[in-house]
Amino acid sequence: MKKIKITVIRKVHYTDLSAQYENPIEHACDMQEGKSYISIDAQKPEGLCESAWQSMQPFVMTLAHGGENFYDGWMKNPKSAMISCNDGFRPVSFYIETIEE
């Protein structure tokens, strides 16, 4: 099974939506842009947000098993995907790629 590198690319906070719809919370997201994680055997890396993992896990599993070319040419690198977590107030975008060894 291939190792998969998961990199935090962008973190956004829609403060207007939070102000209008969200109850205040103290600790919402600790993902940092540029931080990378390695998935071994398609397992969730330690420290990766559980909600983000739920969004990306099917893509990680496919890449780990040698799959590629999601949605017929969506990504320039066919052994990759760009996935965002499901937080509508603070979406985080992750670049997921197969590590060639």
What percent helix, strand, coil does the chain show, rounded to 5? 20, 25, 50
Query: Which tens digit of pLDDT belongs to each residue from 48-69?
Result: 999 999 999 999 999 999 999 9
Task: Tell me how many domains the chain contains.
Answer: 1
**Environment class of residue 20 by beta-carbon count within 10 Å: exposed (0-12), middle (13-18) or buried (19+)?**
exposed
What band does 34 get if pLDDT is binned at 50, 70 and 90? very high
Query: Which tens digit of pLDDT belongs to each residue from 63-94?
Result: 999 999 999 999 999 999 999 999 999 999 99
Distance CA 46, CA 59 (A): 18
- Written as six digits, the tokens of 63 are 């890449």
Range of the domain at 46: 3-99
